[in-house]
Structure 1
Amino acid sequence: MKKFTILCFAFLFVGTLSAQTDQEKAAATVNENTIKSHIYFLADDLLEGRASGTRGNKIAASYLANELRRNGAQPVPETDSYYQKFDLIQTGAPNYMELSLNGTTYPLLAAFTMPEIDQSGEAVFLGYGTENDFKSMDVSGAMVVVLGGSEAGQDPGQMFRSSREKVKRAKDAGAKGLLELVQFDEAMWTRLKHYIGGSTQVKNPDENTETAEMPHAWVNTKTDDPGFVKDMQLLYSLASDGQSKTTLHTQNVVGMIEGSDPKLKNEYVIYSAHYDHIGIGQPNAEGDSIYNGARDNAIGVTAVLSMAENLGKYPTKRSALFILFTAEEKGLLGSKYYADHPMIPLNQMSYCFNTDGGGYNDTSLATIIGLERTSAQPLIEKGASTFGLKAIGDPAPEQGLFDRSDNVSFAQKGVPAPTYSTGFSSFNDEIFKYYHQAADEADSLDYGYLLKFYQGYVYTGRLIANTPDTLFWNAGDKYEEAGKALYGMK
């Protein structure tokens, strides 16, 4: 009789587990102490800002791999590691650059590319460097000087975007180099120079890294009229010791949990976030030089780890692929590398549920960049609202945020891929107070809010992974055709 009673209790217990809703399962595994433990570790000074290729970045990768292991995630079949390793080539800023134009010295320089150089001669001024400007004269073998941005605007975003176009025009025209004249105050110049002073790219083992590059620099004139904007020709001299090149060894962290449905387990939902940050930088007023990256992106990493813990206990119908990217801060390089070298074919990826962010200023919201762009919108809205948050779409489309996070590496291949972020309704001082600042510490976060945020993320992930529907781009989206090609849709 006793054995019969125990057996009945066991069946009842199993029945209770199976009867739990996705909402109950999401709430069951997300708790504040676990959230804090992940974020406090990842944002600890010990990791020195987790810059790709550094010791701190490798410590973070080891922590993430072991968290995946602890929660039952396995390495991708036919691999024996949670790491997808690759190398980066990091280009460092020159030690010095000296420039004069028509006899005036311009000391505020930042090089995108700058070989060792010491030359002088005639340069050509081409206005804003538009396509028509370059067609107006032959600049083959000439140093070209242009104004930054365009007549339509000179904000930093426009300048960076137009700069890429001008470089292409200069190279296509056979120019010797490109100098862009910009005007920024000291605070903005200091912030921007961090992104201009060097660059990083994935190392191609077959590529000759010694290939000469065309000099390209921004010159901060700090005035609207450099004095020669009406002159088509001018004299210049440019000298520099050139940029350094360093090889960095880094890694994405990847694991998977198999789905429970015999058919749907062949499809995967990607749960992703980048775990790198910008490392050690300019000390703030308190002398703190470690940029800990609690918001950007220990918050996102913790979302993925929360999902792994949940699915380790309660698998969904579709399989889960957890990807923690390196080198997002260096130009989305980790996600681009994975998308170009997928460990499981991309046409088996039914959805990419990325999470990233620079902070929050409204704890009533979850902000989803790309919310309205895929058929998962009702599931995302339900997931957030169930735990007390309102899901909103991109509040600042002019910023191009969808194409500035790791989700875009998969979107470009055709995989539906929004980014789930903490709540913000605008870019204001509360965002910039912490974004890429040394003040972005674990003890500055609202963990009561994050509890709801993670519960909503996990619940939404479960809804996406369990739905019988095929999720896809909404009609007319810029990535719809890529999706049709990827999945063989007509």
Structure 2
Amino acid sequence: MASDELKGRRTGTEENRRAARFLAGRFEEFGLLELEGAPGYLQPLPFREVAPPEIGLLEVGEAGFRQGEDLLVVQGAPLELHGEGVFAGYGWVDSLAGRDDFEGLDCRGKVVFVLGGSPEGRGLRDLFRAMEKKRRWASERGARALVELYQLPMPWPFFRRYFGRKRLTLGKDSTPQDDSFTHAFVNAPDKGALKLKIKAGAPVHLKHSGTSKKTLSAANVVGWVPGSDSLLREEFILVTAHFDHVGTTALNGGGTPEDSIFNGARDNAIGTVALLNAAYHLAHRPARRSVVFLAVNAEEMGLLGSSYYAEHPLVPLEKTVFNLNTDGAGYTDTTLVAFVGMGRTNADSALLSAARAQGLQPVLNPAPEQNLYERSDNISFSARGVPSVSISPGFREMSKEIMRHYHQVTDEADTLDFQYVTRFCRVFAEAVRRVADQTERPFWSPGDPFEAVGKALYHLP
């Protein structure tokens, strides 16, 4: 998975498709069953690659912002507009709550400026979920463009790295008519002052050369193993790990004169092999519950593969009682295994016992300031009510040692401690088995933020 031949497994490349075929071949070899909608174990993903504008400029009065620096145009046909702007709060509409941030505003032919994210949250997930709605609401009111004032906890350079270069979107996300509407983000050093300029009627000039799109071929890889218990086999454990990485310096920047390939051994070839190992063992000795193994694509592009599966599940989510994910940036201690999401479900005992059975010490919810629970594929399922936990190789914080390899060309397979990787894979396989075998149905802990949506998914009182 981390070989130079696969050139970093970037979604949409032939090397990524080769990796998917390799995984599908292993599923077939192990005897996993296919699911309807994934012939040959491959669930097609309707991706489009979006290239940002080469030129972009936003001026509000004397304040100026340039594409790729403090302005990011993420969608839109070429545009040049001289006119007015209006400020519309979050640009949010909620008829049930009696909220309409556009009420009383004349948006026709204007640039609508809004706060980034939604009133429900300013996290990355909140922002992504809100984008399409906010575009639609602004467009329906006659606006020519929507500009969000960036306010995520994530530093702007990380956000710019994603939207400032070619990226993937799911083809279903917008219609051809939507594609022409301009949507941008601006990182203003003084958001309050910019809001005052807009409200005071400062002239607005917005110009950009337009985003471009092309269709790409990619797939998730999915198979399943029926459970051995005649009753519990109707409940499914979903096991996930992303197999994509970020590609080469030609697509990603960075690198060194000697090495242009981001091999992604730690992120996430270890997790992919852990999933394969679990699939092998469960196929040869099934657990009580049925288990779906999903190697997801495009995690590095914004959790797109897992989001697509969650919206188009091949096993209904109301039958999917738990998601066990594995992802990682690396490890700093070979006596540890990290669990993200502990205390949130009733599966803690099964998970901790799997770690201790291999003589590894569990670390619970490391690096809390990084909000890791919402940064990997498990959140695609948690947000829809499926209880989830993610397991990573051993670390306590996002230290310099972790960052030395994270999304770097140094993340090579020959830098791994294979004895430790083997123990980690055994922990993961045993964790899958123990959760799939536990008598109590997995569910959220009382009071968890996702408990209510879980009860709605499973029709619980």
If the TM-score is normalised by the length of the shorter chain, which range does it land in? 0.7 to 0.9
With over 3 angstroms needed to count, the CA separation of the structure-2 counterparts of 1:290 and 1:156, relative to structure 1, is farther
Correspondence for 1:44: 3
- Structure 1 residue corresponding to 2:310, chosen from 308, 332, 339: 339
Kindly provide the amino acid, as one letter, of the partner of residue 283 in structure 2: G
With over 3 angstroms needed to count, the CA separation of the structure-2 counterparts of 1:169 and 1:366, relative to structure 1, is farther
- 1:421 alignment partner, SS class: strand
Report the Cα offset of residue 251 of structure 1.
Answer: 0.9
Kindly provide the amino acid, as one letter, of the partner of residue 48 in structure 1: K
Q: Are positions 1:394 and 2:356 aligned together?
A: no
Contact 2:125/2:374, CA 8 A, preserved across alignment: no
- 1:211 alignment partner, SS class: helix
- Structure 1 residue corresponding to 2:83, chosen from 121, 134, 144: 121
Kindly provide the amino acid, as one letter, of the partner of residue 323 in structure 1: L
Q: Are positions 1:67 and 2:26 aligned together?
A: yes
With over 3 angstroms needed to count, the CA separation of the structure-2 counterparts of 1:93 and 1:135, relative to structure 1, is closer
Report the Cα offset of residue 230 of structure 1.
Answer: 5.2
Give the TM-score normalised by the residue count of structure 1: 0.78
Considering only CA atoms, is the larger Rg found in Structure 1 or Structure 2? 1
Q: How many residues align?
A: 441
Task: For 2:275 and 2:26, locate their aligned partners in 1 and report how far apart those are by CA, in whole Å.
Answer: 10
With over 3 angstroms needed to count, the CA separation of the structure-2 counterparts of 1:103 and 1:85, relative to structure 1, is same
Kindly provide the amino acid, as one letter, of the partner of residue 258 in structure 1: P
Give the TM-score normalised by the residue count of structure 2: 0.83
Report the Cα offset of residue 431 of structure 1.
Answer: 2.7
With over 3 angstroms needed to count, the CA separation of the structure-2 counterparts of 1:472 and 1:55, relative to structure 1, is same
Q: Are positions 1:98 and 2:57 aligned together?
A: yes
Task: For 2:146 and 2:414, locate their aligned partners in 1 and report how far apart those are by CA, in whole Å.
Answer: 45
Task: For 1:148 and 1:200, locate their aligned partners in 2 and report how far apart those are by CA, in whole Å.
Answer: 21
Identity %: 37
Task: For 2:384 and 2:352, locate their aligned partners in 1 and report how far apart those are by CA, in whole Å.
Answer: 25
With over 3 angstroms needed to count, the CA separation of the structure-2 counterparts of 1:239 and 1:377, relative to structure 1, is same
Correspondence for 2:416: 445
With over 3 angstroms needed to count, the CA separation of the structure-2 counterparts of 1:149 and 1:322, relative to structure 1, is closer
Kindly provide the amino acid, as one letter, of the partner of residue 209 in structure 1: P
Deviates more, 1:70-79 or 1:55-64: 70-79
With over 3 angstroms needed to count, the CA separation of the structure-2 counterparts of 1:248 and 1:458, relative to structure 1, is same
- Structure 2 residue corresponding to 1:208, chosen from 175, 180, 187: 175
Kindly provide the amino acid, as one letter, of the partner of residue 91 in structure 1: V
Correspondence for 2:96: none
- 2:381 alignment partner, SS class: helix
Q: Counterparts in 2 of 1:207-226, with a 5 A limit?
A: 208-219=175-186
Contact 1:125/1:234, CA 8 A, preserved across alignment: no
* CA-based RMSD: 3.6
Task: For 2:319 and 2:151, locate their aligned partners in 1 and report how far apart those are by CA, in whole Å.
Answer: 48
Deviates more, 1:98-107 or 1:163-172: 163-172
Q: Structure 2: any 5+ residue segments left out of the alignment?
A: 94-98
Q: Are positions 1:480 and 2:451 aligned together?
A: yes
Report the Cα offset of residue 260 of structure 1.
Answer: 2.6
Task: For 2:178 and 2:125, locate their aligned partners in 1 and report how far apart those are by CA, in whole Å.
Answer: 29
- 1:419 alignment partner, SS class: strand
Q: Deviations over 1:268-309 (max 9, x none)?
A: 222211111222310324453332222221111111101012
Correspondence for 1:17: none
- 2:185 alignment partner, SS class: strand
Correspondence for 1:38: none
With over 3 angstroms needed to count, the CA separation of the structure-2 counterparts of 1:437 and 1:190, relative to structure 1, is farther
Contact 2:72/2:160, CA 8 A, preserved across alignment: yes
Task: For 1:350 and 1:130, locate their aligned partners in 2 and report how far apart those are by CA, in whole Å.
Answer: 33
- 2:280 alignment partner, SS class: helix
Correspondence for 2:385: 414
- Structure 1 residue corresponding to 2:208, chosen from 201, 226, 240: 240
With over 3 angstroms needed to count, the CA separation of the structure-2 counterparts of 1:390 and 1:144, relative to structure 1, is same
Q: Structure 1: any 5+ residue segments left out of the alignment?
A: 1-41
Q: Deviations over 1:223-251 (max 9, x none)?
A: 55998675323223222220001111211
